[in-house]
Structure 1
Amino acid sequence: MSTKMSRFVAVAAASLSIGLGAAYAAQPSAPGPGGPGGWHHDHFMQEMNQLHGQLNLNADQEKQWQAALTTMKQNRETERANHKQMHEQMKSMQQQPILDLNALHDMHQKAEEQNHQLHEQTSAAWLTFYNGLDDKQKTIVSTALKQHWAKMEQRHEKMHEHWQHHNGAASAPAANQ
């Protein structure tokens, strides 16, 4: 498989994982707009529940859906625990008069490798689920993903426009001086 095709497959698998439920596994911890348990989480949960209902899964497909959700939730919790541990280690390192950048780099590399493995496990679980769907169900998932991607692109464009406007306004007074 070519490198471009391999990257495309990886991006598609990641999109499937994200599109089918990355936020679904988020546990409410701090209610508020945009935060876990906030409007974005609730909205995504509604979309996930709606997609789940539209798919009309048979018993085997439902098992695969549940297995993917369980894998995703467990891996997300492991990632959170790893992040917290790394944060604590960094705080400890900051107490040293001379930072050990090699240790910091090694810690970061290890965390990235662990997270990559967890993402691969989650993607594999969602791909197993997706591969068990019939063409009608895959069309429903594909449509949902395309809509999700379009929304992401719209948000990206709005953020980019805001950033350009903000940077343009910030640099204009400096240019007049």
Structure 2
Amino acid sequence: MDDEKAERADTTGDGGPVPWLAPDEVRAWLLLSALMEALPPAISSGLKRESGVNGFDYMVMAGLSEAPGRAALMSDLAAFVAGSISRLSHALTRMEDRGWVERRPFAGDGRQTEVVLTDAGTALVVAAAPGHVRTVRELVVDPLGPEKMVQLGDLVAQVLEVVNPEILRVLATTYPHDGS
């Protein structure tokens, strides 16, 4: 690369410096990117095969199953599953058609929508959970072990604090960090 191209490569469009990634940072980023692409289909395929439900729908129902009264606001549920309100709404329409969830105005504020897990949805989550947990354990938990799983959670929380702190707020209500 000639000197002029090298100089352009070290600046942004406004002329500011670009903090290029060091080789170890590139490696870590590429590994994380690959994991973000490879893990969801690996988890979802087991759920689909064993229970006929995809990973996103399972997470919605699992989140509801652990919420007080098996109910949550749509906004909190979207944060829990790290999805948009639009994606969640489409999934809820499918799940309502199957009798797994119901939507209703939230009693505390009729402008908000509450999602409730039905008995049929609860039965599906209960039936799917063992296979899901086995898959998660096989793909993530066992290869890392307990100590590294805690470290992974702490590292991911640091990134989520920047990317989407709402997810941390919602998860902390059900799964508070015990500090160990």
TM (norm. structure 1) is: 0.27
Higher strand share: 2
Higher relative contact order, structure no. (Cα contacts within 8 Å, ≥ 6 residues apart): 1
Higher helix share: 1
TM (norm. structure 2) is: 0.27
